[in-house]
């Protein structure tokens, strides 16, 4: 039985005297008013609970989307690392390098991809792949491993086009640790004149730094 119905049926017992009939309308109005006010906190609690539930659902949904995106990102990363392998064609590797270079502009460096890049820079015989890798690596000028591998590559590289790209990179990085390698390039009788000229210019810039 509801509170309102109970009070209506028993209000004659709640006092020594029965309320006059002319009080009935006043009693009804006050009763409904009291019941309405007592219900408001309950309604607010329900709305509050529903609001929290909706927020939790939204957070879970966002988390699920983030997890899926992250899994797809990792899967694509693994595919690109495979595409950089020695058993792949030069064109396949170039496509992977250029895609990674584009991704690198939007996110932090990936250790696995960097390791694959360093391997290409040291061991690959394709000049185009090396040049593309150098461009991709230059997206991370503050990365110490990137700087060290570019310096090491400059010391061993013999292909003129790659040498020129490495010299330009050293110039951009303003890396003084490359001075010895630049001097060796200048002293090497087999070095092309255009490469020597660029090495001279970079060495002079570094010495005046």
Number of domains in the chain: 2
**181: Cβ–Cβ under 8 A, 6 or more apart, which residues?**
151, 154, 155
The answer to whether residue 139 is domain-embedded is yes
Higher pLDDT residue, 83 or 133?
A: 133
Secondary structure letter of residue 88 according to DSSP: S
Q: Looking at the predicted structure, is the pLDDT value of residue 134 above 80?
A: yes
What pLDDT, on a 0 to 100 scale, did the predictor assign at position 17? Answer: 47
Residue 40 covered by a domain: no
| Structural domain includes residue 73 | no
**Distance (Å, whole) CA 70 – CA 149:** 29
Let me know whether 169 and 99 are in one domain.
Answer: yes
Tell me if 92 is assigned to some domain: yes
Examine the domain organization and report whether 94 and 160 are in the same domain.
yes
Residue 66 domain-assigned (yes or no): no
When pLDDT is cut at 50, 70 and 90, the band that residue 77 belongs to is low
Mean pLDDT on 127-154: 92
In a shared domain, residues 12 and 92: no
User: How far is the C-alpha of 209 from the C-alpha of 207, rounded, in Å?
Assistant: 6
pLDDT tens-digit map of 166-181: 999 999 999 999 999 9
70 in any annotated domain: no
Mean pLDDT of 104-130: 81
Tell me what the pLDDT averaged over the chain comes to.
76
Rounded Cα gap, residues 107 and 9, in angstroms:
73
Least confident of 50-64, 127-141, 151-165, 186-200: 50-64
Is 109 domain-assigned? yes
Higher pLDDT: 68 or 93? It is: 93
Residue numbers of the domain that contains 166: 84-207
């Amino acid at each position: 039985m509801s509170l309102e119905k109970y009070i209506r049926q028993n209000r004659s017992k709640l006092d020594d005297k029965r309320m006059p009939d002319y009080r009935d309308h006043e009693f009804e109005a006050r009763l409904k008013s009291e019941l309405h006010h007592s219900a408001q906190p309950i309604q607010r609690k329900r709305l509050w609970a529903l609001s929290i539930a909706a927020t939790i659902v939204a957070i879970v949904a966002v988390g699920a989307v983030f997890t899926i995106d992250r899994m797809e990102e990792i899967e694509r990363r693994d595919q690109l690392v495979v595409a950089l392998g020695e058993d792949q064609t030069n064109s396949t590797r170039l496509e992977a390098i250029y895609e990674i270079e584009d991704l690198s502009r939007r996110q932090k460096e990936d250790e696995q991809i960097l390791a694959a890049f360093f391997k290409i820079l040291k061991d690959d015989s394709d000049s185009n792949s090396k040049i593309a890798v150098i461009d991709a690596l230059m997206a991370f000028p503050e990365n110490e491993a990137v700087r060290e591998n570019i310096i090491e590559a400059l010391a061993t590289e013999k292909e003129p086009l790659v040498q020129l790209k490495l010299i330009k990179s050293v110039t951009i990085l303003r890396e003084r640790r490359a001075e010895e390698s630049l001097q060796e390039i200048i002293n090497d009788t087999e070095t092309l004149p255009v490469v020597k000229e660029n090495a001279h210019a970079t060495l002079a810039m570094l010495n005046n730094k």
